């Protein structure tokens, strides 16, 4: 039996209305209604008070099926927003790693040209690198902005 069904069953066994139970718990009647229709769950402290008011144990109030259901379907890790955030963070990390590798390659090319070949770095190479770097920096800033908004 689900938590919502248990709350309703035990409330009715005590001959309490939703309003009477709400008054005893210092919550609104709508809150009790939401618990009973399953759209909300009481927090741990309120669930303990609820069990005391209904003269049942926490185990009786909350069945094992509810715990599994909450973990599988309502956990924070299932939130689409959290999944999108995690995806963006992983993409940003890959982007920054690639920028680091690109910068290392450019530094190696600079050293090769200056020390080994005793020549200046071609202007086209410098401009190409900076265009690529600026595009990566822009993408990184856009990802950062989107993460802040989430």
Res 39: pLDDT: 87
Res 111: pLDDT: 87
Place 65 in a pLDDT band, splitting at 50, 70 and 90: low
Residue 64, token pair as written in the block:
């094992």
CA 89 to chain centre: 12
For residues 99 and 133, the answer to whether their CB atoms sit within 8 Å is yes
Place 63 in a pLDDT band, splitting at 50, 70 and 90: confident
Q: What is the mean pLDDT of residues 30-55?
A: 91
For residues 76 and 70, the answer to whether their CB atoms sit within 8 Å is no
> Is 0.75 topped by the overall pTM?
no
Query: What single-letter DSSP state applies at residue 78?
Result: G
Mean pLDDT for all residues in the chain: 85
């Amino acid at each position: 039996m689900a938590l919502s069904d248990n709350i309703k069953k035990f409330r009715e066994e005590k001959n309490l209305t939703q309003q009477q139970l709400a008054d005893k718990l210092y919550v609104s009647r709508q809150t009790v209604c939401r618990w009973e229709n399953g759209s909300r769950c009481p927090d741990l402290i309120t669930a303990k008070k609820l069990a005391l008011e209904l003269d049942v144990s926490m185990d009786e109030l909350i069945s094992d099926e509810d715990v599994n259901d909450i973990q599988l379907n309502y956990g924070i890790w299932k939130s689409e927003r959290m999944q999108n955030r995690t995806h963006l963070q992983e993409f940003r990390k890959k982007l920054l790693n690639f920028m680091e590798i690109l910068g290392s390659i450019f530094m190696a090319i600079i050293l090769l040209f200056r020390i080994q070949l005793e020549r200046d770095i071609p202007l086209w190479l410098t401009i190409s690198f900076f265009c690529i770097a600026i595009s990566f920096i822009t993408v990184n800033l856009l990802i950062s902005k989107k993460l802040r908004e989430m």
